Amino acid sequence: MTTDWTPLRSELQVWREAGLTLPLWWRDDDAIAPSRQLDRLVGLSSRTGLPVHLAIIPRDASQDLVDQVANQTSLVPVVHGWAHQNHAPEGEKKSEFRLHRPLASIVSDAHHGFLRLQESFGDRLCPMFVPPWNRIAPEVTAELAEIGYQFLSTATPRTHAEAAPGLTQVNTHLDPIDWRGKRGLADPNALIAKTASMLQDRREGRADPTEPFGVLTHHLVHDQQIWDFTEALLDCLMAGPTRVWSAGPH
């Protein structure tokens, strides 16, 4: 199958002609330790000039990972739940931060995740909470700002700029992996068409044009096709009228 980038390039050209700029960001989930895949992620980030908000699982984060992130300005550490542990009963979608346990226990896990990574990274830690599987109960969301979080990141276009008072919502929008199928690369032309359609929705007022457009990756499970598509996607977007967005220190 030939990958056709024309729909996305054409939409970006419309943006350019209209004098519009797309805020762009990148999130990668499930980091716990250094790996060759993480090295490749860093290399791609450095080449494209787009920082990676690295969602780190606090309970399992190794000191070696802390050391690596500390030495890479292209990596922005964020909090990925607590243990990436599913608490949903059989038959329900996986989640760690929906109300399958007492609320106090759930909020305590979110707090411990923040404290653990704050102790590891200090001021380098970005106060962003990324719930595993992008699922979180509103009752938990309402408590995050009090803990110290400033951002919540899940998936799909946001409906409000704030998830709760004092908590900015910044979601991801395109994940190239076919999670419901063979867990390889989804149909690349469908991914391109979806991206172009989401940008058109922003341009025509059906979605929030100010929300940073988020690319979501999972470096630990990438095969060569996923890496190749991700690189081509980032190159295409960065060649458009885009502005790099980061929640990390500026």
Are the C-beta atoms of 106 and 81 separated by less than 8 Å?
Answer: no
The 10s digit of each residue's pLDDT in 12-39 is 999 999 999 999 999 999 999 999 999 9
- Where does the pLDDT of residue 115 fall: very low under 50, low under 70, confident under 90, or very high at 90 and above? very high
From the list 128, 156, 228, 236, the residue with the least C-alpha distance to 192 is 236
- Where does the pLDDT of residue 248 fall: very low under 50, low under 70, confident under 90, or very high at 90 and above? confident
- By DSSP bridging, strand 167-169 and strand 162-164 are antiparallel
| Tokens standing for residue 244 | 């790099």
Residue tagged 């797309």 (tokens): 22
Q: How far apart (Å, rounded) are the C-alpha atoms in residues 127 and 53?
A: 11
Stated length of the chain: 250
- Where does the pLDDT of residue 249 fall: very low under 50, low under 70, confident under 90, or very high at 90 and above? low
Percent of the chain beyond pLDDT 90? 97
CA of residue 198 relative to chain centroid, distance: 16
* pLDDT(250) > 60: no
The 10s digit of each residue's pLDDT in 39-50 is 999 999 999 999
Percent of the chain beyond pLDDT 70? 99
Residue tagged 């951002």 (tokens): 151
The three-state DSSP-derived secondary structure of 90-135 is CCCCCCCECCCCCHHHHHHHHHHHHHHHHHHHHHHCCCEECCHHHC
Q: How far apart (Å, rounded) are the C-alpha atoms in residues 100 and 80?
A: 18
Can you tell me the mean pLDDT for 176-199?
96
Can you tell me the mean pLDDT for 79-95?
96
Q: What is the pLDDT of residue 187?
A: 97
Q: How far apart (Å, rounded) are the C-alpha atoms in residues 101 and 87?
A: 8
* pLDDT(183) > 60: yes
3-class secondary structure, 205:
coil
From the list 202, 218, 165, 220, the residue with the least C-alpha distance to 24 is 202
| Tokens standing for residue 165 | 């008072």
